[in-house]
Amino acid sequence: MNLEELPAFARPGILRAVIEIPAGTSDKRQYDPATNTFPIDRRNGQPRRIAFLPYPANYGFIPGTHMDKAQGGDGDALDVFVLCTAQPSGTVMEVEPIGIIELVDAGERDDKVIALPVDRSLLSFDVDEIMELPDAAREILVAWLLNYDPVDGAELVAVRGRAAAMEAVERWVVR
């Protein structure tokens, strides 16, 4: 089954997240729907390894979404950072969004939903909104996203709460 075709919503208010890159790792992986695998991404023919700090959270996408280039998106599914213990590539999780970090990357919108797993046993904290995270945690996520890929040069648009994250999912859900 192509994981991109899963519905974005598991149930009202609860999203699905497909983990491509486990927290604490440095290899940039991207889902390949043709093989249903998570190979290391390549840039200029070379495997992409982040030459910065490892991923601070599990990174992946919200299936059933597409940030349409014609509407200013990057042409990919909506990205997600899931704040919890490291999860293997290919894990499909039910998550609750707590906010969104809105970015422009290489001239296109490349927003990141920030979410927590529904399974709270994977957490050491519990919040309902991104602004309830410790300031330093929020600042780490933003700083990482602005600096991990110096080639594209991402720019911060805004950090917004749960309602904005849900609006973004609704905007980009494939109908």
Map residue 121 onto helix, strand or coil: helix
pLDDT tens column, 14-30: 999 999 999 999 999 99
Residue at 95 is within a domain: yes
110 located within any domain: yes
Domain assignment present for 74: yes
Q: Would you say residue 87 lies in a domain?
A: yes
In this model, does residue 152 exceed pLDDT 80?
A: no
Query: What CA–CA distance (Å, rounded) separates 37 from 34?
Result: 8
Helix (H) or strand (E) holding 105: strand 92-105
Domain count, the chain: 1
Q: Can you give the C-alpha Rg of the chain in angstroms? A: 15
Q: Is residue 22 part of a domain?
A: yes
**175 lies in a domain?**
no
In a domain, 12, yes or no: yes
Decide if pLDDT at 137 tops 80.
yes
- Residue 168 contacts residue 105 (beta carbons within 8 Å): no
Mean pLDDT for the chain? 95
Q: What pLDDT digit, counting tens, does each position of 62-116 carry?
A: 999 999 999 999 999 999 999 999 999 999 999 999 999 999 988 899 999 999 9
* Domain interval for residue 158: 3-170
Q: What is the CATH number of the domain that holds 60?
A: 3.90.80.10
- Cα atoms found within 13 Å of the Cα of residue 11, Cβ hemisphere only: 2
Q: How far, in Å, are 20, 29, 45, 57, 155 from residue 42 at the CA level?
A: 14, 9, 6, 21, 23
